[in-house]
Amino acid sequence: MPLLSLIVFTPLLAALMLVGIPREQAQALRRAALLFSLVPFALAVWLLLEFNGARGDLQWTERAAWIPRYGIHYMLGVDGISLFLVVLTTFLMPIVFLQAWDVHKRLKEYLVLLFVMETGMLGALVATDLFLFYVFWELMLIPMYFLIGIWGGERRIYAAIKLVLYTMAGSLLMLVAMIYLAIAHQQEVGQYSFAWEHLLQLRLPLETQRLLFAAFALAFAIKVPMFPLHTWLPDAHTEAPTGGSVILAAILLKMGTYGFLRFAIPLFPEVAVEAMPIIAVLAVIGIIYGALVCMVQPDLKRLVAYSSVSHLGFVMLGMAALNLQGVQGSLYQMLNHGLSTGGLFLAVGALYERRHTRLIAEFGGLWAPLPVYGALFLVVMLSSVGLPGLNGFVGEFLILLGAFGRFPWAAILGTTGVILGAVYLLWMFQRVMFGPVTNPENKSLKDLSVREIAMFAPLVVLFVFMGLYPKPFLVRMEPSVRLTLERVESRARSASSACNDGIACVARGGQR
């Protein structure tokens, strides 16, 4: 059964079905969207149950010819690296649709775009043909552009265009690199191929690999975003509507880190090993810089946005270590960041719905009028801080463990990021929630409705579960991570040994 195709395209089907519901029936639209969004989630849960955790290679593969002339196929597959990201995506969408009860402007278009976006994201996660990946990769950009541009805040147009240009700038060069790979495959093997598994076998001259890696890494580093390519993120996040911010933080940013792990590193292992110190440095700068900016951020949403820069720095640091703990921690932290930052944006969004401002200075002492909100916000915030017992701790711990093995200095500097993270988040929470109610407007705020509690509840359950019992996740990730690392190591080793005996190295260099 083409389970992956079903997961990818049921959201698109849902979008088409929503088109059929008249726009006047707002409530029906919202309910239908919520209901439809549960279908891909149910399918993803099924995938999770049926997934063979002992295998590291691609499972549930599908394949059909698309553009045979250039060896382009419709190829899908899932492994331990993408599995949980697929589940995360489908899991978060119903929550985002629950949040859509707060959306009143152009509701129908909003819901349709969210579904199109979901198809794009899921497709990018399970595509195993580079060309197909690129198509889905771009497909998710356009809805996000409209989400920010139409439903966003004051500077939405600026933010939307910035998002598009930044992302496109990276991805177009990636496309050129992809085509180059396919042509290289043709020259080496005799036929074009964009298939990930075929391109893994390519042996290109190191110089060429460096350029190609740079093209891929640029596209992904913009998406992550890594310092110094992060400047689009605070604008996009701040201006996006709450649902858009949640998706942007929780899933879109993961596409960058996922791209590194799936494409940039395994396809060019020799260069990846070379580049990892640079990435570690940038990651550490990101961690500390993001945290420092958070300290002085007067705007709640911008604060959460910059905290993403810091947290994604951890994800990249773990990946840069290129050992089992580091990469597993990095993957685990992707999920954590998705859940906790998604939660933070929901929390900020809920406040914004009530007060139409995001300035920390406007709040204070909110615990008194909003006790339920306060409790949930607290858990979300602590998960983001990385409190032991909650999910964030497991990821950060593994990452630092892995990074210490490879780059001790980076791990040490990164640890200060953990401390800074606790400082800015706790300080923010204190200023918003504790103390006396300084602003009279905040006295009569209404606490969370049942619907809003339902948005946070699944997140909180997962925070605790993933914090206390990470094993079911890590076990399923491990074989795939191992396989990736083995590939990288064997390639990198053979490259360095080839260069050690001199002659082969010269021959290799001379091929160009």
Partner 1 sequence: MAALTFPDVAWLPLLPLLVITGTTLLVLVADLFAEGPDYDALGWLGLIGLLLAVLTAVPLWNQSGTTLGGTLVLDRYGLFFTILFCVGSGLTVLLSMNYLETTDIRCGDYYTLILFSTIGMVLMATSLDLIVIFLGLEVMSVAAYALAGIWRTQVRSNEAALKYFILGAFASGFLLLGIALVFGATGETLLPRIGEVAAKGSAEQRLLLSVGAALLLVGFGFKVAAAPFHSWAPDVYEGAPTAVTAFMAAGIKAAAFAAFVRVFVDSLGPLAGDWRGALWFLAVLTMTVGNVSALVQRNIKRLLAYSSIAHAGYLLVGVVVGGESGSAALLFYLVVYTLMTLGAFGVVIALGRRGQPHEDLDDWAGVGLRSPFLGLAMTVFMLSLAGVPPLAGFMGKFYLFSAALEAGYVWLTVIAVVNSLVSVYYYVGVLVKMYMAEGGAEVETAAARPYLFATLVAALAGTLLLGLFPTPWFELARRSVESLAS
Binding residues for partner 1, per CB under 8 A?
Answer: 65-70, 106, 109, 131, 134-135, 138-139, 141-142, 145-146, 149-150, 156-157, 160-161, 164-165, 168-169, 172-173, 175-176, 179-180, 182-183, 186
User: Residue 174 or 399: which CB sits closer to partner 1?
Assistant: 174
Cβ distance to partner 1 smaller for residue 164 or 287: 164
Select 172 or 498, whichever has its Cβ closest to partner 1.
172
Residue closer to partner 1, measured from CB, 9 or 46: 9
Q: How far is the CB of 191 from partner 1 (least distance, A)?
A: 13
Cβ proximity to partner 1, 112 vs 282, nearer residue: 112
Instruction: Report the nearest approach of partner 1 to the CB of residue 168 (Å).
Output: 5
Structure tokens at 313: 């720095």
Q: How far is it, in rounded angstroms, from Cα 474 to Cα 54? A: 12
Instruction: Give 80 or 152: the residue with its C-beta nearer to partner 1.
Output: 152
Q: Which is nearer to partner 1, 180 or 427 (CB)?
A: 180
* H-run or E-run covering 193: none
**320, 283 contact by CB (below 8 A):** yes
Distance CA 511, CA 506 (A): 9
- Find residue 299's DSSP bridge partners: 359
Please report how close the Cβ of residue 169 comes to partner 1 at its closest, in angstroms: 6
Residue type, 160: A
Q: Cα separation of 58 and 122, whole Å?
A: 16
Q: How far is the CB of 155 from partner 1 (least distance, A)?
A: 11
Q: At what angle do helices 80-99 and 26-50 cross, to 10 degrees?
A: 160
Yes or no: say if 251 and 338 are a contact pair by the CB < 8 Å rule. yes
Looking at the DSSP bridge assignments, the partners of residue 63 are 75
Token digits of residue 346 = 């929901």
Of 206 and 360, which has the nearer Cβ to partner 1? Answer: 206
Closest CA to 414 of 400, 428, 433: 400
Beta bridge partners of 127: 76
Q: What span, in angstroms and rounded, lies between the C-alpha atoms of 188 and 170? A: 27
Query: Kindly report the CA angle at 152 between 151 and 158, in degrees rounded to 5?
Result: 130
The token pair that represents 72 in the structure block = 């382009």
State in angstroms the smallest separation of the CB of 183 from partner 1.
Answer: 5
- Comparison of 239 and 396: residue with beta carbon closer to partner 1: 239
Q: Tokens for 203? A: 């042996």
What letter represents residue 448's amino acid? Answer: L
Q: Between residues 83 and 141, which has the closer beta carbon with respect to partner 1?
A: 141
Instruction: For residues 59 and 285, give the distance between their C-alpha atoms in angstroms, rounded to a whole number.
Output: 37
Shortest CB 387 distance to partner 1, Å: 41
Q: How far is the CB of 411 from partner 1 (least distance, A)?
A: 37
**Rounded to the nearest whole angstrom, what is the least distance from the CB of residue 142 to partner 1 in the complex?**
6
CB 249 → partner 1: shortest distance, Å?
A: 22
Closest to partner 1 by CB, 178 vs 303, is: 178
Report, in Å, the least distance between residue 505 CB and partner 1: 25
* Backbone φ and ψ of 298, nearest 5°: -80, -20
Take residue 397 and report the two structure tokens written for it.
């711990």
Three-state DSSP class for residue 402: helix
Output the smallest distance, CB 494 to partner 1, in A: 27
Pair 399, 335: CB distance under 8 Å: no
Q: Which one, of 218, 332, 340, 358, lies nearest residue 279 by Cα? A: 218
- Closest CB to partner 1 among 189 and 361? 189
Smallest Cα–Cα separation from 96: which of 274, 296, 243?
243
Q: Report whether 438 contacts 364 (CB < 8 A).
A: yes
* Minimum separation from the CB atom of position 180 to partner 1 (A): 6
Integer CA distances (angstroms), 314 to 101, 396, 440, in order = 34, 7, 40
